[in-house]
Amino acid sequence: MSEPILPAELADVLAVDAAALRSTGSAGFGIVDTGFVPKSFARLLAEKLATARLLLGDDVDLGSGSVLRKVLELAALEDARHWAVAAAVYDNSYAVSATGDGLTRLGEELGIPRPYQQARGTITLKLAAPLPAGRNQLTLPRGARLSTPGGHHVALDETVVLTAATPQRTPAVAAFHPGPSHNLDPAQPGQRIDRWNRADTLLADLDDAEQAAGSELVQITHTAPLTGGELQVGDVRYRQLLLAAPRSVWTSEAIGLAVATVPGVRQVQVFDGRGGLDLNQSIFGNFNFIERVFSTERDLGNPYYFSVLVAPTAAAIWEGPDGLQAAVESVIEDLRPVGIFAAVERAEEVGIGVEADLVIRGLPLPTGSKETVNASTAATELRARLHARLRRYVDELPFGEPVRVAEVIWTLMNEPGVADVRDLRLVRFPADSATLVTGTAPTGDGVQRLAVGANAVLSANQVPVYVDRDDPRPFRIV
């Protein structure tokens, strides 16, 4: 004898009224104000059970062991699959909700293919000769550029410090240009990473040391291929590009989108002084609305300019015929109307460091004095993870956005093992990209150690850059 229908299932069945059974039964489902709402398997099964009771009578056997119940369950499952497919088709018709291949096809219709990621890997750096007198270390900052005989560009993805005690390191590197063409294989001709890009100002410390030594100091060994260049960016980043894409020929958004896809551009902002308010103008915020208008009439004898503020990545070289400025100007040249010119400006980069005392619980730290604990391998690895978290937070801040102490503390507290953050202060470094990532302690003119709890306030044309110093001072375990 089959089992009777359960009370909970009976309630679901009775909830499906006779009017819904004799109609489509889709009220509240399908295309609604909030999008597409598919019917669930439970709803579909309840409707089929109610229909069976209506047609065959209340005494029909719909228990979990009956044949009719199994047939209705199979039909409801297939219907649920159809509803799921219909929901996916609807969602993939809009950039705000499409995913995967659907989002890729929408981008292709807009003429914006899904960008590729940067190939990544490791190389080995080793001191080939003793450091010159007066030097106890050689710092190769994150973003320092290397190249291959075939003209491929690669950058260090972490700061490297070589000393007599640690003359060899195996740092991570990332290809400057995205795509599978930079899955560099040292076994292929012209793809071995074996030289520095001497046009890079981040190599000033290496140049000075080699001039003092009279010979090359760092040996580069590339044995394992770089991988990941064939992968494409995720849906979140790609969706941001598509939603920012203009639907007209000449807009500031069109310029911003084109510049944002140039390799080496971290952020971009377009200021059209004639078409809108230019925050960089000194007169902004000082208008007397009774006595004057927003701007004077255009001088027809002078060309029309708009400003493009660019924040480069750490690996970007700004000047030179192959520099980032020239690449940005080349992209804009194909988009700007006749008689309208772009003034490409480099954002003022402000280095931001962090100093704090940390209370650690649950991590295998050695016993002993505070100096012993802070110099341990576990503490060094913890600091590296904290640097990575803070770099992601700071690098995502837009132009003029302050670095807030509360958000820094929240970022640090998300690291497992960090129980408390005390006496946190921000350190503001000079706006010189060549000194931002040297890994040295804050010294010299222009360095500001802000008060405990004070935010680092930036102007409209400034962008923060995180300074990951390679010493225990930023994060001291207490």
Tokens representing residue 76 in the block: 């409801």
So where are the chain's domains? 7-91, 120-221, 249-284+303-346, 348-477
List alpha helices for 167-279, DSSP H: 204-213, 235-244, 252-260
pLDDT for 203 beyond 80: yes
Question: What are the pLDDT digits (tens) for 348-389?
Answer: 889 999 999 999 888 888 888 888 888 888 888 888 899 989
Closest to 193 (Cα-Cα) out of 171, 220, 170: 220
Which pLDDT value is given to residue 126?
93
CA dist 89 and 434 (Å) reads 50
Compute how many other C-beta atoms are within 10 angstroms of the C-beta atom of residue 402. 14
Extended beta strands in 104-143, E state: 120-122, 124-127, 137-140
Place of tokens 């894409």: 245
Relative to beta strand 124-127, strand 168-169 is antiparallel
Please give the sequence-ordered ranges of beta strands (E in DSSP) within 80-171, or none if there are none: 120-122, 124-127, 137-140, 145-147, 153-156, 160-163, 168-169
Residue among 451, 374, 436, 371 nearest 405 (CA) = 451
* Helix or strand run (H / E) with residue 321: none
* Per-residue pLDDT tens digits for 111-138: 889 999 999 999 999 998 888 888 888 9
The 10 Å Cβ neighbour count of residue 470 is: 21
Q: What DSSP letter does each residue of 252-290 carry, written as one string? A: HHHHHHHHHTSTTEEEEEEE-TTTS--TTSTTTT---TT
Model confidence over 41-93: pLDDT tens digits?
Answer: 888 888 888 888 877 887 888 887 788 888 988 998 998 899 888 888 888 88
* Pairwise CA distance, residues 356 & 452, whole Å: 9
How distant, in Å, are the alpha carbons of 20, 59, 312 from that of 84? 21, 33, 43
Which residues are CB-neighbours of 146 under 8 A, at least 6 positions away? 123, 153, 154, 155, 156, 173, 193, 195, 196, 197, 220
Q: Which CATH number fits domain 249-284+303-346: 3.30.70, 2.60.40, 3.40.50, 1.20.1740?
A: 3.30.70
Mean pLDDT, rounded, of the chain: 81
Number of helical H runs and strand E runs in the chain: 13, 20
Which residue type does 221 have?
T
Task: Check residue 19 and give its pLDDT.
Answer: 54
- Residue 387 CB burial class (10 angstroms; 0-12, 13-18, ≥19): buried
* pLDDT tens per residue across span 16-29: 555 555 555 566 77
Please give the model's pTM, rounded to 2 decimal places. 0.63
CA distances in angstroms from 36 to 84, 94, 219, listed in the order given? 10, 12, 59
